[in-house]
Structures are given as structure tokens and as C-alpha cells.
Structure 1
Amino acid sequence: MTTDTAKDWKHWREQRPRPVFAPHGSLTLQGTHRIEDHQEGRIPDMTGRWTVGGDGVLPAAGESEASRWTFELAFTLGGQELTPQVTVQEDGSPWAVLGDSSSGHGSYRFRFPKPAAPDARGRTTGDFNPALLLSCAFADHVICPIPPPGNTLGAEIAAAERSLLR
């Protein structure tokens, strides 16, 4: 580990609690809603309209916006070609739900890396060190996304937030 990498990790670790405890952070869950109960697609206290599409609930959007909602991130890990699905957040940053061979024993069931946005050629660099646990890891009553098919890696990722310290 280089000095810069160690400093970067220390800075990230010191800053990690801020978004968790922020006014709209992951510990501020206000409710769990069923889209079927809101036929117009408007969920109380949530911005925008929502619709059922594919395998989940998505923001109601035009085709151009919907087409950038998910993509595959292709890389090789331990000699195995992988193509996990990645979602694009409102701010345009990629976000994934990944499991690995330590999921459920040695680490939480899955983690949430945020790779850098792809460059003009569609390439990015993945860094598992800042992958985080969402509020479902901290509270049993919170519904959490699970890795879609293809998002469970056959290798152990010994990095990032892996489990809760109690």
C-alpha cells in the first residue's frame, strides 16, 4: 500500500459516517412502499413518478433516460470474465450491488461499490476499497436490494466495509 493509498483510505474512512448520518443519509429511511398501492406512480414524500419495469421499480422516464438506467461493467477477476449490472444514480454516478465468495460468512451478504463514471471510450477503473454497506446492514427493518443475476462474484473481495463492528 503506497503512502497516498493509505492517506486516501484514512480520509475515506474518516468521512464515511457523514453521508450515513446526514439529513438524507441511509439511516433516514422513512418508509417502505408498495408501488401497487400508488396507481398514479406518485409515492407520498418521494420526488417524481415511479413505475414497474424489468425486475423492479424505476423512475418513470422517457426512453433516453431509461436507456442509461443500467449497464454492464465488464472485467476479469481471477481469470474469470465478469459482467455485473451497474445502475446510474440521479447524480449520474454508477452504483452496483455485488456479492462475493465471502458474502454471508466473513462479510455482509453483499456490498455496494461505486465505480467511477465511464470515460468517452466507455472505460472505468473499479476500486472495491470504498464499497459500502447500506442501511439494511445496520437495521433489520430496512429492505435492501440484492445482487441481480451475474452480480455475485466467484472470488473473495477482501476490501471495503465487510461487516458491522458491534
Structure 2
Amino acid sequence: MSAFAEDWQSWKTERETTLADPYGWLALVSLDWLETTPRAYDGLPGVWWQDDDAAYWQPDGEEPRRFELVQSGPGERVALGDVEVEVARRGGYLIRVHDPKAEVLRNFRGVPAYEPQEKWVLEGVYEPFDEPVPTTVGAVVEGLSHVYEAPGRVRFSHDGAEHVLTAFNGRNGGLNILFTDATSGVTTYAANRSLAAAVDGGRVVLDFNRATNLPCAFTDFATCPLPPAGNHLPFGVEAGEKTPYERG
């Protein structure tokens, strides 16, 4: 095995270890949108509700607990016995239950992927906008949308043609690119894939061998964003993660 393939395999192993987190995305067993009237939800103590500003949980015989969260930002967790309840804001407020005994998690056997090929490591140019541009995208949940700041775009060439992808902010100062391509809905998940890319000056390396599925590829209890308009590649990116076994 080449050093390139070994490095990719190490990345894939780490990726699958993260996915197998007992309280991660594969542990989701429910999603409920909170109402303005307090109500109970199956298997959870107390009552839950929301108003225009926050979500609330009132355990039996106790004072309400308030959750004021950022739109499309990280959720907040509440440990309740063997499960964790995640409160998140996606338009309105929602609660999701993470259960380490979830069937999807129990049956997880890794993520199918194309074999790594160095030809899918492409170099691009990062073109920052004068100011970050608030960009509205759709979601896998009908009627829901997300708004993210796009700091710039990436321009690159493939097979003699030029392509441009809008980029969002990623981890550690990098970029996060949501895209579809000619394999979407054929060998890869139809709605979206994600690619993390580091910026070095004006240079960006796009390693499509590390294109990953978003949580919605594994579970129906995710509210993942769709790619921005224009982020469809007309060629097949035969690299990175394929449609999960769970969706096969």
C-alpha cells in the first residue's frame, strides 16, 4: 500500500470511529419540533415548549430550564438516564434523542467509499469576497432553510474546464464546501456531500478522496443543508464516500 493510500486509510478509520460515537449522529432515534404549548414527548420526563426566543424544559416538580440557542448553530444536550436529548434551533426549536442502543448505530459497519486515487487531489484558487456573504440554502427537511456566511469561493480546473464552488467557513480556519456531482443519486448520496479544504495563501487543495456524507445520509432525524445554488459539478466525482449501506 502506498503512503498516499495509508494516509487515506488512517483518515477513514478515524472518520468511522467518530461516526460510531454512542451519542453521535447514528444514535438518533427521534426528532420533534417544539410547540408553543407545553407538552410531553414519549419517553421523556416533564414538558417541553418554545417561544420566539428560546426553548424550555420543565421536569416534573421543578422550575423550567431555558435554552436560548443560535440559529443553525450547535445544540445543547441534556443527559436523561441512558439517553441524551439535544435541543437545537433550526428555524424553530427541536429536540432529538440520542440513544446508544439505536438500530442504525448497532448495525453500523463503516462507510463505503471509492478507493483513493491521487488524480482526485486537485489544486484550486481561493477568491475571498470583500465581506462574507450571508447565503441562504435549502435543507433536506421540506420548508426549512439555513443561512450561512460564505467567505469566498474556490476556482479550479478539471479535464480542461473551469469550475467555481461557493465555500462556507469550516474548522480551524479552513473552508467547508457542500456540493453535488454526476454521481449524486447514483453511487453517492443524492442530496449533498461535504469537503473540508485548508487555505494556504490563495491556494486550496481539494482532496475529493475525503469527500464525506452529511448526517442526513445516515439518518432521517437530521436537518442538513443543501449545497448553494451553483455548487453542482457536471462531472462525476468518483472519489470519497458513497451512499451509506443504511440507504442501500
1:139 is aligned to 2:219: yes
Residue 57 of structure 1: how far off its partner (Å): 3.9
Structure with bigger gyration radius: 2
Given that 2:146 and 2:225 are in contact with CA atoms closer than 8 Å, whether structure 1 keeps it comes out as: no
- The 1:85–1:43 alpha-carbon spacing in structure 2 relative to 1, beyond 3 Å, is farther
- 1:115 matched residue in structure 2: 197
1:156 maps to a residue whose letter is G
- Residue 33 of structure 1 contacts residue 43 of structure 1 at CA under 8 Å; is this kept in 2? no
- Residue 105 (1) aligns with residue 104 (2): no
1:70–1:86 contact (8 Å) kept in structure 2: yes
Q: Does 1:88 align with 2:169?
A: yes
> How much has 1:123 moved relative to structure 2?
1.1
**TM-score for both structures, normalised by structure 1:** 0.73
Give TM-score, length-normalised by structure 2: 0.51
Supply the RMSD in Å over aligned alpha carbons: 3.1
SS of 1:87's equivalent in the other structure is strand
Change (3 A) 1:103 1:89: same
Pairing 1:11–2:92 present: no
AA aligned to 2:244 is L
Could you report, residue by residue, the CA deviation over 1:98-153 in whole angstroms, capped at 9, with x for unpaired residues? 1011110122112111112x122x21111011111111011123222112111110
Instruction: Return the offset for 1:75.
Output: 0.5
Contact kept, 8 Å, 1:98 with 1:111, in 2: the verdict is yes
Matched, 1:130 2:210: yes
Unaligned runs of 5+ in 2: 35-49, 57-65, 73-90, 92-133, 137-144
Change (3 A) 1:143 1:81: same
Opposite residue 230 of structure 2, the aligned amino acid is: G
Say if 2:157 is the partner of 1:158: no
Secondary structure of residue in 2 paired with 1:154: coil
In structure 2, C-alpha distance between the alignment counterparts of 1:76 and 1:158, rounded to whole Å: 16
Per the alignment, in what secondary structure is the counterpart of residue 200 of structure 2?
Answer: coil
Q: Choose 82-91 or 7-16, whichever is displaced more.
A: 82-91
What CA distance in whole angstroms lies between the structure 2 residues aligned with 1:134 and 1:10?
19
User: Sequence identity of aligned pairs in percent?
Assistant: 26
Point out where structure 1 has 5 or more consecutive residues left out of the alignment.
Answer: 60-65
| Aligned-partner SS, 1:112 | strand
